[in-house]
Structure 1
Amino acid sequence: MTAPGSGADSSAKANVTALNCISLSDPDIQKSISLLKQACLDSGFFYVSDHGISQEFMDEVFFQSKKFFDLPLHKKMELFRNEKLRGYTPTADQTLDPKNQVQGDFKEGYFIGIEVHEDDPDAKKPFYAPNQWPSEDILPGWRQVMEQYHKEALRVSRAILKIIALTLDLDADFFDKPEMLGEPLATLKLLHYEGKISDPARGIYACGAHSDFGFIALLATDDVTGLQICKDKDAQPQIWEDVAPLKGGFIVNIGDLLERLTNDIFRSTLHRVVLDGRERYSIPFFVAPKPECVVECLPSCASEMNPPKYPPITCAAYMNQRYIDTHLGPTSYHIQEMRE
């Protein structure tokens, strides 16, 4: 199963790319391995269907996400992201393509990670912390919905990574080892894109071009198009293709750490969001190994003719640098001015 596509076009209106679709309920595992491997080699993007999360629950998650973003700005800013990246990120907080953007992304977001109690020793580790939650008085039941979705999305991510392991001729449980996903960095991010028109020629984007940081990302979207991918980042000019939403399914993509692990065999592809003026809601879920995990080239992905391209690096060091490169510091905000 593929989404309709008609090739690449560098014009302002991009063509729709065709992506392989992997059904997690398909008993033919060899078919899934073949489709996923082809996708990872070609673009690093694919669809996932039949993942076991009901459409009714997905609709509830989007409904609750919209309820949060509908709050007054001063209420949202009370939950402004902390140093562990938990909480609210206002519009223009992130600039994912600083070389080409004249201003930050036209999107606001909300980070939710794995819940770690403040008294837990792990809370002192990079990226581990208690989450920030809206008051039950303001958004009753909101926390329960998001925690359940986080749990379900992590389950789906593990299932996808089992198939990815098999495409690399590894044991299916390779990524489930304690040093990798025993205590993963699994982050849910709710996103709301303002209803502003993007203009790439002027450096104005709903979300600037970037690759994701970790192992994989699962993306659920509404029915508003806007996601684009560039399969060859070195092409001049770059050719961008639209990725169509998939009702009831996920758009999944490979991240930088998995690209490093495979010595660039699997692709961590540039993607961006370009909008026509309509509001858009999406919910990405990012999965990376535990902070102490050392990511280095798999022996099977290197040879004398193709030596490792990247030095070993801990997940924490890589992720921390990417966040520093793309987010404004807390002191960049004049919160009182934003309330006014």
Structure 2
Amino acid sequence: MMDNSNTNSAETLSSITNLNCIDLSSSDIHHSVSLLKQACLDCGFFYVINHGISQEFMDEVFAQSKKFYDLPISEKMKLLRNEKHRGYTPILDEVLDPENQIKAVGDYKEGYYIGVEVPEDDPEAEKPFYGPNVWPASDILPGWRETMEKYHAQALEVAKSVARVIALALDLDAEFFDKPEMLGKPIATLRLLHYEGQISDPSNGIFGAGAHSDYGLITLLATDDVVGLQICKDKDAQPQIWEDVPPLKGAFIVNLGDMLERWSNCVFKSTVHRVIGNGQHRYSIAYFVEPSHECLVECLPTCKSDTNPPKFPPVRCGAYLSQRYKDTHADISTYKKS
């Protein structure tokens, strides 16, 4: 069990949260919509099971991720992330909760970004978050690229299935998010994560991942069996109450992002969450799904009225994401040798 003795007075830890479980193979779509809607109104987190990705393949993706993180740091730094957010992010590269991480210098995790593969000579590659990926050499990690590309494609199909249930829960057509300007040409980013065993100390701002909400539409998270993920259903509560989200074998933990909160006019929540390290190595795989660069995120017609006008101005997805990444990641130039 994790040691919570360092938790400061501004927060408390309740026990384990109970999340709704959405079965994507179920023929009872009304039941799935009801469960999902309840989850989105309550906490913005839920499990998805029977999603179509085999356990054998999931195990292979985790095994390949571990092989990368087992490489010497000198090899990993050769694949340092670029300005398109592709490649390796070292320990402390990201600061997700700067307000409460003043005494720390960043999150105690390392990551690897893999986005939508776009050739360098394609005009689309000029856009943020699009372009060629950064890949380890095949002689160092044979089959690694192929495994990650296959997973990227399969996870996108799962995300589209989840988005259809979300659309129905918002009283929209099931295909609402399938439009070309939305998930037809998404900014979909796979991120392999490794927490290397640091024990978190919230009172001193030391976290595996600081408290934050995700930026986009939805996130699919696969984890190993090591606990660490916590959510705070009411970020404004004093004291804050943090709840553990236990791993569920074979399931994705799905959470809503800030764009969906904007789209739904705060009907659905993007909930604050964090990762607390307990001294064990922990591996997880996050898949962030955002609409296209040009997509205008504005209040949905089913989520506004004369008495409930839009709470946010419209915003272009690409511009919004670029600013959020800039706010939370170290400047790449800090890694360059003088």
Q: Contact (CA 8 Å) 1:217, 1:287: kept in 2 or not?
A: yes
- 2:187 paired residue among 169, 185, 188: 185
Q: What displacement does 1:126 show?
A: 1.7
RMSD between aligned residues: 1.3
Give a deviation string over 1:257-306, Cα, whole Å, max 9, x none. 00000000000000000011111000000000001100000121111111
Is 1:123 aligned to 2:132, yes or no? no
**Structure 1 residues 64 and 335, CA gap change in structure 2 (3 angstroms):** farther
Q: TM-score, normalised by structure 1?
A: 0.95
Q: What displacement does 1:319 show?
A: 0.4
Amino acid of the structure 2 residue aligned with 1:105: D
Q: What displacement does 1:14 show?
A: 3.9
Give a deviation string over 1:168-191, Cα, whole Å, max 9, x none. 111110000111112100000000
SS of structure 1 residue aligned to 2:311: coil
Residue of structure 2 equivalent to 1:226: 228
Give a deviation string over 1:40-91, Cα, whole Å, max 9, x none. 0000000000011111100000000000011111111111101000000000
- 1:171 paired residue among 162, 170, 173: 173
Q: What displacement does 1:252 show?
A: 0.1
Alpha-carbon distance between aligned partners in 2 of 1:13 and 1:138, rounded to the nearest angstrom: 43
Is 1:303 aligned to 2:305, yes or no? yes
Residue of structure 2 equivalent to 1:5: none
Residue of structure 1 equivalent to 2:107: 105
Amino acid of the structure 2 residue aligned with 1:169: D
Q: Contact (CA 8 Å) 1:110, 1:189: kept in 2 or not?
A: yes
Give a deviation string over 1:83-134, Cα, whole Å, max 9, x none. 0000000000000000101220000000001110111110011211100100
Q: Contact (CA 8 Å) 1:10, 1:240: kept in 2 or not?
A: no
Residue of structure 1 equivalent to 2:88: 88
Q: How does 1:277-296 map to 2 (within 5 A)?
A: 277-296=279-298
Q: Contact (CA 8 Å) 2:12, 2:241: kept in 1 or not?
A: no
SS of structure 2 residue aligned to 1:15: strand
Residue of structure 2 equivalent to 1:240: 242
Q: TM-score, normalised by structure 2?
A: 0.95
Q: How does 1:1-340 map to 2 (within 5 A)?
A: 13-101=13-101, 102-333=104-335
Stretches of structure 1 lacking an aligned partner (at least 5 in a row)? 1-8
Residue of structure 2 equivalent to 1:3: none
Q: Contact (CA 8 Å) 1:198, 1:274: kept in 2 or not?
A: yes
Amino acid of the structure 1 residue aligned with 2:223: T
Residue of structure 1 equivalent to 2:5: none
Give a deviation string over 1:11-64, Cα, whole Å, max 9, x none. 765410000000000110000000000000000000000011111100000000
Count the aligned residue pairs.
328
**Structure 1 residues 294 and 245, CA gap change in structure 2 (3 angstroms):** same
Amino acid of the structure 1 residue aligned with 2:19: L
Q: What displacement does 1:317 show?
A: 1.2
Alpha-carbon distance between aligned partners in 1 of 2:45 and 2:260, rounded to the nearest angstrom: 13
Give a deviation string over 1:195-252, Cα, whole Å, max 9, x none. 1100101111010000000000000000000000000011011110000001001000
Alpha-carbon distance between aligned partners in 2 of 1:299 and 1:123, rounded to the nearest angstrom: 33
Alpha-carbon distance between aligned partners in 2 of 1:80 and 1:333, rounded to the nearest angstrom: 9
Q: Contact (CA 8 Å) 2:11, 2:239: kept in 1 or not?
A: no
SS of structure 1 residue aligned to 2:64: helix
**Structure 1 residues 22 and 277, CA gap change in structure 2 (3 angstroms):** same
Amino acid of the structure 1 residue aligned with 2:168: L
Q: Contact (CA 8 Å) 2:10, 2:238: kept in 1 or not?
A: no
SS of structure 1 residue aligned to 2:16: coil
Q: Contact (CA 8 Å) 1:295, 1:313: kept in 2 or not?
A: yes
Q: Contact (CA 8 Å) 1:196, 1:275: kept in 2 or not?
A: yes
Alpha-carbon distance between aligned partners in 1 of 2:319 and 2:11, rounded to the nearest angstrom: 38
Q: Contact (CA 8 Å) 1:208, 1:273: kept in 2 or not?
A: yes
Alpha-carbon distance between aligned partners in 2 of 1:269 and 1:219, rounded to the nearest angstrom: 14
Q: What displacement does 1:333 show?
A: 2.0
